[in-house]
Amino acid sequence: MSGGADEVHELIERAGGTPYGQAKTVLLERALGLAESLRDRDLTLRVRMDLTAAYQHGAEPAKSFATFTRCLAEYDAEPGRFGEWETHYLLWQFKWITSSMIRFPEVPLRRAQDALTEMESRYQKAGAGLHAVYAQRCYLAQHLGDQEAADEWFHRWRTTPRDQLSDCEGCDPSGQVWHLAWLGRDEEAVELAAPVVAGELTCHVQPQGILTRLLVPYLRTGRMPEAAAAHRRAYRIVAGDANYVDDFGDHIEFCALTGNEARGLEILQRESPLLDRAASPRAAMRFASAAGLLLRRLEEIGHGDTVIRRPGEETTASALRPRMEAAARELAARFDARNGTDEQSLRVEQTMASEPLVEHLPLTPHARRVLPSAPVPPTLPEPAETTPDALLDLAERAWDEADFRAAVMTWARFDELYAEAADPGLSEVQRARRGEGRGLTAAQDRPRETIDEWERAALGYARAGEELRRQATLGRLALMRVTLGDEGDWIAAAEESAAYLDAHGIPAQRTAAAVRLAQTYHEAGRPDDAVRLLESTAERCEEPGRPLLRLAEILAQDPAALDTAAAAAARARAVLRPAGGMRLASASLLHARLLREQAAALPTPPAQATGQDGPLEAVAEAYDEALSAAPRADSGLRAFVYAGRGEALLALGRAVEAADDLIEAVASLTAIGANEQAAVVRVDLCRAYMATGRPLDAAEAAEEALAMLPEQLADERLTARWVRADAQRDLAEAGDPETVLADYREVEAGLLARDRRADAVSVAEAAGDLLMRLSRHEEAAGVYARAAGLGDGDPLRAARLLRLHGTAVYKLDREEEAMEIFAAARDALAGLPADDPDAVWETSRIGCAEAEALDWLGVPDLARERCKEAIAGFRSIGAHEAADRAAEILASIYRDPGDDDDDGGPEVAR
């Protein structure tokens, strides 16, 4: 073989290992040019046929018309040059060409019809059945809107036996489902698709193709969970692939029909760059019409001004909608002009005018609609008494109990009934009390406004002779001034206020004044004074819960006081427990956080300290109490409690419970607009999904987190990327393995940079396992060797990695080298007790690997010896399934007929 021909074959081989797309096409185009330059007709024919397939499956079917026509002409000129396989392949490609002709309005209808006639003639001459021909005729009739003809061809398609030129058993039902859905025969469509959906019949375009065809039938038959799962599963497989632009339209339409406008917008923005590279005008028309529907829905729910980023522009939903609608209509008009019908225009208008089939279909357990049409304002029951003093008492009591939402809403009710301008009869004290409340609600965001309100309130109290109220207000003023760093002796003012209230106030006022003064000390940089005051107040007051909680909060800010802070929080919980409410919720939440920090500081990692009385159980119990005490209306607080408890349960190995809590946390945080916090919680959620065997949910949660997490949260991003890689590896339809491997490489580097060597080794091992699954043994050997060389100090892990390295080398037919690596694996275990179960397991695994290599090296006696040792080892630790597998290896090893050893493989297997 010439050097040039060798290069062509090398290019063909490289293309064979490359997924369909531009890279594969470029390799084959280079191979074709070189083969033509060599004037090698047979080699040129082979490459040209492969290139037809590459164009078809690489989103460039228009180019396949020329390559296919050349191959067909060569066949007609010299059919003897075509062997049985080449002839079959050429007839198979006929289906692609006739189907593609329908998708291009530039191809005259008569030419497409003639091509079908020619296809039928050639199939008959080849002795093939007409099953595939009837399918193609049905597709054309559907496209033209000729239901009578489509039904006739569909009947023939279904009743004609399948033959060697029929579409595969995964794709053929997909086309039939499409027809049934077009006719509204949804139950039949769902039933027909069941084997493909179940994964029994797949190919490189299934199950994603049939799942996409089923989206609307599932919705129309009320199969909402199946519809959501079909969308998620199918879109994950096709995302970013220019060959599926029409499918992107189906998924965008699905989102618009199910109240998932935000998800649809995400797909629209992500896939818009591929619209200009659509495989055909029909695919572009489908995308554009679905986009028009989605953009209309966004306008209708009040989000027409949503910013949409597309290649080279930034626009809005309202501005983009008419452009998408115009594009869809123009393409439909071109098809209708070619076809002499109005079918495609009717379909486009029908799509763009569609109404939702369901108000909102959650696509994931943690999904809630994020583009609401109108927020529903929260309400409180009408108070039994609505006099000015009753409402002010109710609001102040709620604020004092930390139920801020109830306080704010009660003050709002007061304003509705007694607006000062409309009711000049309010007393001086009532006006002052309301002003003090306004100052409290403004303190977080508008502190200067708060100072003004409190100064006016203090004057009002003075005029009314309410000295106790005045002193409390002056104490609040002093605290705010110190917090803002204002000039003046505000510490003295706070001390004077506290002293007066201590001498003249009731117990609750004395306690509140002391807590306020302690906070002032803390804000002034005198934490020791604050701690001493709070400790003494807690000892002498009647209700020590409030000072204990504040003491715990202050101590929690000092890492050296962690144990003292936790003790104070525990005391606060005990004291506040009978009353319950927000302060108990706050104390329990703080205590849970402090207990988590204590557990993290233990010599035994928290993940191992999971006994019934272990520290993580105490953490979960504290979160339980916080959740019980938190008002149901306070969704923000409850969201953080769910997030914390979910994290603790995950560390305890209770992943199912953890997932439930984390789902609720993500949904609640998203609903209140806390997107960054929701993204952080998603990282724990994707871990919980993986731990419960839900890799699809895990992959989606990880991708959502990565899209939302800012770059400065590098640790969280690293964990999300790690989980995404593991999830993609475990999915049946993992997509591009290079993406997974790239994630693993990046995560490994990030972990090593953080000196997390053991975790980096785990990631490298996972990458090696994936490479082995892909039969990329050379790369796997290198990854395992690198992982073993990282040396994290774990002899069991070192032995396992060396065994895996040796196995990869053995797969490369380098048995002697493999045996040396297996020996190193045995050496790694030398320091462990011989009866250690984990060491016995790994030693037995090494023995099985050695046995296979020794058998290939022609040393069957030693191979059988290693195998028998492995079987004995497995059985000694109760690993009977592993022992049975080792017995199968033993049975397969060559035995000399004269060997009368009766302890052979079959006997051991029994």
> What is the spatial distance between Cα 560 and Cα 528, in angstroms, rounded to a whole number?
13
For residues 591-612, average pLDDT: 69
What distances in angstroms separate CA 778 from CA 693, 739, 762, 774, 785, one per listed residue? 30, 19, 19, 11, 11
First-residue to last-residue Cα distance in the chain: 54
Residue 680: pLDDT band (50, 70, 90) is very high
- The torsion angles phi and psi of 259, rounded to 5 degrees, stand at 75, 20
Average pLDDT of the chain to the nearest whole number: 87
Q: What is the pLDDT of residue 199?
A: 67
> What is the spatial distance between Cα 287 and Cα 105, in angstroms, rounded to a whole number?
16
Tokens 């058993």 belong to residue? 169
User: Which alpha helices (DSSP H) does 541-614 contain, by range?
Assistant: 545-555, 562-576, 581-600
Q: Are 630 and 644 in contact (CB under 8 A)?
A: no
Higher-pLDDT residue of 371 and 576 is: 576
| Closest of 479, 740, 628 to residue 637, by C-alpha | 628
Residues 6+ apart with CB under 8 A from 364: 228, 232, 697, 700, 701
Q: What is the pLDDT of residue 1?
A: 45
Q: Apex CA 245: angle with CA 211 and CA 740, to 5°?
A: 70
Task: Give 357-385 pLDDT, tens digit per residue.
Answer: 998 888 876 665 444 333 334 555 677 78
What distances in angstroms separate CA 598 from CA 259, 604, 614, one per listed residue? 45, 11, 11
For the cut 90, the answer to whether the pLDDT of residue 171 exceeds it is: no
Q: What is the pLDDT of residue 360?
A: 87
Task: Give 139-166 pLDDT, tens digit per residue.
Answer: 999 999 999 999 999 999 999 998 888 8
Q: Are 665 and 701 in contact (CB under 8 A)?
A: no
Task: Give 770-805 pLDDT, tens digit per residue.
Answer: 999 888 899 999 999 999 988 767 899 999 999 999
Using CB atoms within 10 Å of the CB of residue 36, give its burial: 0 to 12 exposed, 13 to 18 middle, 19+ buried: middle
Long-range contacts formed by 697-704: CB under 8 A, 24+ apart: 697/364, 697/365, 698/723, 698/724, 698/726, 698/727, 699/236, 699/723, 699/724, 699/727, 699/728, 699/731, 700/232, 700/236, 700/364, 701/364, 701/366, 701/666, 702/727, 704/679
For residues 387-407, average pLDDT: 88
Higher-pLDDT residue of 20 and 436 is: 436
User: Which alpha helices (DSSP H) does 362-403 contain, by range?
Assistant: 388-400
What distances in angstroms separate CA 246 from CA 143, 213, 250, 798, one per listed residue? 14, 11, 7, 50
Q: What is the pLDDT of residue 400?
A: 84
Q: Are 242 and 210 in contact (CB under 8 A)?
A: no
Q: What is the pLDDT of residue 423?
A: 60
| Closest of 630, 714, 706 to residue 664, by C-alpha | 630
pTM for this entry: 0.66
| Closest of 845, 777, 871, 763 to residue 817, by C-alpha | 777
> What is the spatial distance between Cα 486 and Cα 70, in angstroms, rounded to a whole number?
87
Task: Give 87-117 pLDDT, tens digit per residue.
Answer: 999 999 999 999 999 999 999 999 999 999 9
> What is the spatial distance between Cα 809 and Cα 800, in angstroms, rounded to a whole number?
14
Task: Give 444-494 pLDDT, tens digit per residue.
Answer: 889 999 999 999 999 999 999 999 999 999 999 999 999 999 888 999 999
State the CB neighbour count (10 A cutoff) for residue 712. Answer: 8
Q: Are 475 and 517 in contact (CB under 8 A)?
A: yes
- Name the DSSP letter for residue 373: S
Q: Given its phi and psi angles, is residue 458 left (phi above 0), alpha (psi -120 to 50 degrees) or beta?
A: alpha
Residue 637: pLDDT band (50, 70, 90) is confident
Task: Give 699-757 pLDDT, tens digit per residue.
Answer: 888 988 888 898 999 999 999 999 999 998 888 555 568 888 999 999 999 999 999 99
3-state secondary structure of 206: strand
**498: amino acid identity, one letter:** A
Tokens 């895996």 belong to residue? 804
For residues 71-78, average pLDDT: 93
Task: Give 292-320 pLDDT, tens digit per residue.
Answer: 999 999 999 888 888 887 777 888 999 99
- Name the DSSP letter for residue 309: E
Residue 231: pLDDT band (50, 70, 90) is very high
> What is the spatial distance between Cα 785 and Cα 77, in angstroms, rounded to a whole number?
56
> What is the spatial distance between Cα 342 and Cα 52, in angstroms, rounded to a whole number?
32
What distances in angstroms separate CA 549 from CA 375, 467, 568, 619, one per listed residue? 35, 28, 7, 17
> What is the spatial distance between Cα 490 and Cα 493, in angstroms, rounded to a whole number?
5
| Closest of 538, 606, 543 to residue 568, by C-alpha | 538
Residue 203: pLDDT band (50, 70, 90) is low
Higher-pLDDT residue of 612 and 330 is: 330
In the chain, pLDDT over 70 holds for what percent of residues?
93
Q: What is the pLDDT of residue 345?
A: 96
Q: Which two tokens stand for residue 801?
A: 């990695």
Q: What is the pLDDT of residue 370?
A: 45
In the chain, pLDDT over 90 holds for what percent of residues?
56
Domain boundaries of the chain, sorted by first residue: 239-363, 385-465
